[in-house]
Structure 1
């Protein structure tokens, strides 16, 4: 089973490159690169759903955009140098967690969506795992 995960990056600082990370280690590359103008950025991530559907288990996720161990999977949004912008003086990632997703949510759905903050408390780019994380919902 496959789903599209829609991630909205809410009002990241203008003039910075953001991208979806495909792969890991030194062999990763970026896709859907977008320079922020201060408005929201949108990413569409194809994800494969794995696993069985017993009542006490949650779905598992696979694919070239999915990172992390079972039960702690996530998607990386790369920032600045990590996104391929060599002139940017910083680099980092936003780690969008794939937590809180249930079989009830994915059954019959074609897409899930979430929104994460793009600006940190200091006014610069948000980095690391969003706190608080709004979670995922079925896209209407």
Structure 2
């Protein structure tokens, strides 16, 4: 039986006036959930994914409608601009956030305390000042924090 795992993405200082959200579904049949417009400062996305039972020594595997990719290379998308439903945006992008870098200690801490969430912090703006997109360039993993 799958467990659930509470996750949080903190998108650091994305450009203002741009919509962001989590992609639910694949291909052209997706919807953007938890949509937010950047107004300066960070955006925070809290969500839950399924966690399949993890055999001793194995990497965790995730399930659910927002989880993308094959086993061993799971990720999720943050939709940006028109991909997030913002019709007047000049941006049509996605940011690919990896579902990797989880330690057994972090997973155990979250399982033991429902007030804990695993959080990652990623840059929302590229070096050129535009919304960051593609695969996350600097990914430090997921860290347990209190909700």
Q: TM-score, normalised by structure 1?
A: 0.94
Counterpart CA distance in 1 for 2:49 and 2:22 is: 13
Counterpart CA distance in 2 for 1:60 and 1:38 is: 34
How far is 1:139 from its partner? 1.8
| Equivalent residue pairs, number | 139
1:124 aligned residue: 130
Provide structure 1 residue ranges, at least 5 long, that are not aligned to the other structure: none
Deviations 1:93-112 (A, max 9, x none): 11110111133321241421
SS in 2 for 1:6: strand
SS in 1 for 2:129: coil
CA contact (8 A) 1:116 1:133 kept: yes
CA contact (8 A) 2:109 2:144 kept: no
**RMSD (Å), alpha carbons:** 1.2
Provide structure 2 residue ranges, at least 5 long, that are not aligned to the other structure: none
How far is 1:52 from its partner? 2.9
How far is 1:26 from its partner? 1.1
Counterpart CA distance in 2 for 1:61 and 1:102 is: 14
Counterpart CA distance in 1 for 2:141 and 2:56 is: 22
2:143 aligned residue: 137
CA contact (8 A) 1:53 1:103 kept: no
